[in-house]
Structure 1
């Protein structure tokens, strides 16, 4: 496959992936699709359990849900030998390529999961209008990870096609469960994928609405975060006949959901808390025996995040004591803060100058939210390597995580060219790769 056909194939891959979204740790079909493509190219594959540290996963779906999706994936055509490596929510794949020639070791991360969002069927929505909208009820690629995955596959093709002109080694990490900060640490912790990496690059389509052709060589502003599920268990009772016998878990959940917002903001930097889900009660005349919350905490630094997390945990437990109900706190996700390496930023800028597709290179873009690639960036830097997180510009009519989210597909070849330029600038051993 030549570079021109590789670029045109990007759209096809993205659209195929968009039609079949899978949520975090349920990406069986996606992992298999990626893996078979890379297997045919000759990459060494590490699948599912081989790629992840099982104990480091967070927020793994219930067994019944896992088994349902595993059965569907097998029926679709995932090979049983692959499912053995993926079963139980062990999705994702690490692909490695060693040129056999001395040189740098570069790693690239691409997230592969979708979101629990019902995609719009509005006729103005391009995926619906052109027939490649999600075929899965309640699931959608509403954050661009379908594009990221397509770019990663295309980069693998480039490495394979130009193997004779490249030096060093490559590691491509197709990571599950980015949403909620659940998958990167499990991949980081397994087998030391990133402990001997010289350069690490990852990035995101969009985030800011920017013209196609604009990229940012780094970002700043991602927050460390934690994701918590809280269950209060009390005792049911008849609200009219014997309310004194009840222990009201609904009141505990409602009180916690308001009191968590009393945590003071931190003087050293940005801090956040949000209760995004509250469920409780069975009927108007029943003292509720169960209350459930889903919340998150965030901080500009690890210290600020620890402060908010500690205060949130204290309030949650204290409210449980106040209403005499039991309290269960489940940690289902986390991210860290990070800083991009200036050396990596400089490398992106230097290697992409003169690119036909890249019209403008911003040295840094301000962001918010959180990103679990933080664990990978920090791991590489702690072992002496350099790392950065890039943005690839596209106009955004609707923001990320919206039912009408979409991006201009012309961003795909721009992002691919960015990665190709990074590879050419760091690994060429016999003149420029043509």
Structure 2
């Protein structure tokens, strides 16, 4: 016989499924009217309006464009935060679907519209059943994830005040709908950037001895940067150094007097991150000195890696197995993408999971940030069910059973 708390969760899941068409409607509206990072005025207003319509207390313009909703349970207890991002990307939508972006050069190519629609539906159900909650739920609707600044700005504006634990989700097309993946420890990497300007001495292509060839200097630097990972970093550690942009010269018979490089660095360990920065400084300084070139090097520290806390990850896995046995729960290797949810996990315990949203039958096969990106909208229900299960554990199950924190995997 099911316990009373299990029956409550079953009804929550059923009610979420009944909201599927509404979730699709919200998601497709946002998909047609996407807004770039720090420009999400209408999206922010839409979220605030929907939450207010549910009777949820909200705070707007949090850290800029963020919206924070608070659902207060009838009884005291912990406060759990759930996060969804809502900014879009500067990409032209090339899909041929009825909900194709109507904004030239801007589209939701990473699933943030789905994250938002999911959390709105979850908010409706939890608010309708707040009398069953022993504790509070904080809804973190975050702006500017793609520019990797929104989380920091919202934290600085107090979005985590009073929060005990925080969870986030990403709809993920590389894995099929019906699968939920997780990683203990680091699940995404830090994302740093760099820019190097080299100043040489230009001249005629027939007289290279009278010049300082900026292209030659830049090429030698690029070659040496690639040796950092293979020859300087412990092979048991993970790191990537990539030069993604190289601009120099404008004529066939002129030796370039300047060159500019831009690139990215991805790491998990802080020590490795610092070592790579130091090695880059040493390489650039040495090569430029050898060729009598001047330079300006800027290294930008981006977001930290998302580090899933062990206890919260175990609790999440236990609850998914127990309450959603129809899902495939898979432990996945860490990714070298960047995600600013890691900022929240530096402040509070919690974890970040990936909900499968790939489906070949509906052409949801393209990678994130692709102009034809789309996802299986049924994945929104799956992500929402997972969120409801974790809230149920902290704010219902634990109140009924003091042993609910005893996780068996």
Task: Tell me which interval the TM-score lies in, with the shorter structure as reference length.
Answer: 0.7 to 0.9
d(CA) in 1 for partners of 2:284, 2:148: 21
d(CA) in 2 for partners of 1:318, 1:207: 44
Following superposition of structure 1 onto structure 2, how do residues 152-191 of structure 1 map, counting pairs within 5 Å?
152-179=119-146, 181-191=148-158
C-alpha distance after superposition, 1:6-25 (max 9, x if no partner): 22211111111122233333
Corresponding position of 1:312? 280
- For the aligned residues, what is the CA RMSD? 3.2
Distance 1:176 1:349, change over 3 A: same
Question: Which of 242, 250, 266 in structure 2 is aligned with 1:274?
Answer: 242
Corresponding position of 1:114? 88
Corresponding position of 1:31? 44
Corresponding position of 2:347? 379
d(CA) in 2 for partners of 1:318, 1:278: 20
d(CA) in 1 for partners of 2:115, 2:83: 9
Following superposition of structure 1 onto structure 2, how do residues 125-140 of structure 1 map, counting pairs within 5 Å?
128=96, 130-140=97-107
C-alpha distance after superposition, 1:163-183 (max 9, x if no partner): 233231222222233336443
C-alpha distance after superposition, 1:191-244 (max 9, x if no partner): 3x336422211121125422x222235455535324224141637755369988
| Conservation of the 8 A alpha-carbon contact between 1:248 and 1:325 | no
Question: Which of 76, 79, 89 in structure 2 is aligned with 1:102?
Answer: 76
d(CA) in 2 for partners of 1:249, 1:110: 45
Gaps of 5+ in 2: 1-11, 359-363, 401-409
Corresponding position of 1:349? 318
| Conservation of the 8 A alpha-carbon contact between 1:227 and 1:297 | yes
Between the two proteins, the alignment pairs up a number of residues equal to 376
Following superposition of structure 1 onto structure 2, how do residues 199-210 of structure 1 map, counting pairs within 5 Å?
199-206=165-172, 208-210=174-176
Distance 1:92 1:132, change over 3 A: same
Corresponding position of 1:45? 58
Distance 1:302 1:26, change over 3 A: same
Local SS of the residue matching 1:228: strand
Distance 1:180 1:259, change over 3 A: farther
Local SS of the residue matching 1:353: helix
Gaps of 5+ in 1: 53-89, 122-127, 382-386
| Conservation of the 8 A alpha-carbon contact between 2:198 and 2:218 | no
- By how many angstroms is 1:348 displaced? 4.8
Corresponding position of 1:397? 365
As a proportion of its length, which structure holds more strand?
Answer: 2
- By how many angstroms is 1:380 displaced? 0.6
**Structure of larger gyration radius:** 2
Following superposition of structure 1 onto structure 2, how do residues 258-273 of structure 1 map, counting pairs within 5 Å?
258-265=223-230, 266-267=233-234, 268-273=236-241
TM-score (norm 1): 0.75
C-alpha distance after superposition, 1:142-168 (max 9, x if no partner): 222221111122222222222233231
- By how many angstroms is 1:413 displaced? 0.9
Distance 1:288 1:155, change over 3 A: farther
| Conservation of the 8 A alpha-carbon contact between 2:173 and 2:375 | no
d(CA) in 2 for partners of 1:96, 1:239: 67
Distance 1:174 1:332, change over 3 A: farther
